[in-house]
Amino acid sequence: MQAVIDRAFCLKHPVKIIQLFGWDVFIGMLWSKDKTLLQRIAEKYQARRVPMPGAIGNAYKLSALFEFRVAHIYAAMAERFKANREVSQLFSDLRDEEMEHGRLMLTCLYQVAVNREVDFVPSVRDEEIRESLNELRRIEHRVAGMTLEEAFKVTNELEAGEVNIIFGRLLQQVGRAETELFAEQLKGAQSHPQSVPRRISELKKRLGPEGLAAAA
Ligand SMILES: [Fe+2]
Ligand SMILES: [Fe+2]
């Protein structure tokens, strides 16, 4: 993420990181740069905690699946436009950010409290949800034949769409300090529905009409 919580953030906020996630996670961040904070937390929880069971647990897994699918689309776009370093970099960054969103949903899976009022529970059994997943699969297959203009359009549409609504609502209803830290980072100008269109138009401006035509 431009909002990835990385090593630098952890070194700046040691007390907070230790309180929320434990010494082991902090020391891991201190000694090695190979993983993001979310990667470490997701691994720790998967090894030691019990995930939320039933429909609620499935809703968080479903959202993770959506995020990972969008990550696949951006990975395909990075590959499609690899001839242009800047364009390819933007899509690779977006892929990394979507992977983090997916990990965040998996982390949430271990934190939703049973006694909280959880009223938003999307399910893979919903016809609409299944259709959205299929649509993402279709988009991924179309990427190889896309022009750059199409890829940008599809990206903006994805970011304005259902995937982010589901992600945002599920994140909101967790209501735990561990997750708040990430929710805070993903708000406002950092959030994808706001930031991605802006990053695309900045890139277009930097490339200019000739650069865009060459990259397409
Ligand atoms: Fe996302
Ligand atoms: Fe996104």
Ligand that comes closest to the CA of residue 166: 1
Compute, in angstroms, the gap from residue 210 CA to the centroid of ligand 1.
Answer: 31
Residue type, 127: E
Residue 123 belongs to what H/E stretch? Answer: none
What percent of the chain has pLDDT above 90? Answer: 75
Compute, in angstroms, the gap from residue 16 CA to the centroid of ligand 1.
Answer: 25
Tell me the pLDDT band of 1, cut-offs 50, 70 and 90: very low
How high is the mean pLDDT of the chain? 92
In this structure, what token pair is assigned to residue 117? 């009022």
pLDDT at position 207 is: 92
Compute, in angstroms, the gap from residue 18 CA to the centroid of ligand 1.
Answer: 26
Sort 99 into a burial class: Cβ within 10 Å, 0-12 / 13-18 / 19+.
Answer: buried
Helix/strand/coil for 216? coil
3-state secondary structure string across 31-77: HCCCCCHHHHHHHHHHHHCCCCCHHHHHHHHHHHHHHHHHHHHHHHH
Check pLDDT > 60 for residue 3.
no
* Range scoring the smallest mean pLDDT among 71-75, 114-118, 170-174, 209-213: 114-118
Vertex 35: Cα angle to 103 and 158 (nearest 5) = 40
* Range scoring the smallest mean pLDDT among 12-16, 110-114, 188-192: 110-114
Q: What is the pLDDT of residues 71-124, one digit of tens each?
A: 999 999 999 999 999 999 999 999 999 999 999 999 999 988 766 678 899 999
> In terms of pLDDT, which residue wins out, 208 or 117?
208
Sort 184 into a burial class: Cβ within 10 Å, 0-12 / 13-18 / 19+.
Answer: exposed
Compute, in angstroms, the gap from residue 186 CA to the centroid of ligand 2.
Answer: 11
Domain ranges of the chain: 51-215
In this structure, what token pair is assigned to residue 73? 């689309």
This prediction's pTM: 0.93
Compute, in angstroms, the gap from residue 97 CA to the centroid of ligand 1.
Answer: 7
Ligand that comes closest to the CA of residue 161: 2
Q: What is the mean pLDDT of residues 135-164?
A: 96
Check pLDDT > 50 for residue 148.
yes
Q: What is the mean pLDDT of residues 119-142?
A: 94
Alpha-helical regions (H) of the chain:
7-12, 14-21, 23-31, 37-48, 54-80, 85-109, 127-142, 148-160, 162-172, 177-185, 192-215
pLDDT at position 114 is: 65
pLDDT at position 87 is: 97
CATH code of 51-215, in short, is: 1.20.1260
pLDDT at position 122 is: 93
pLDDT at position 215 is: 83
pLDDT at position 190 is: 81
Q: What is the pLDDT of residues 17-60, one digit of tens each?
A: 999 999 999 999 999 888 999 999 999 999 999 998 889 999 99
Ligand that comes closest to the CA of residue 101: 1
pLDDT at position 188 is: 79
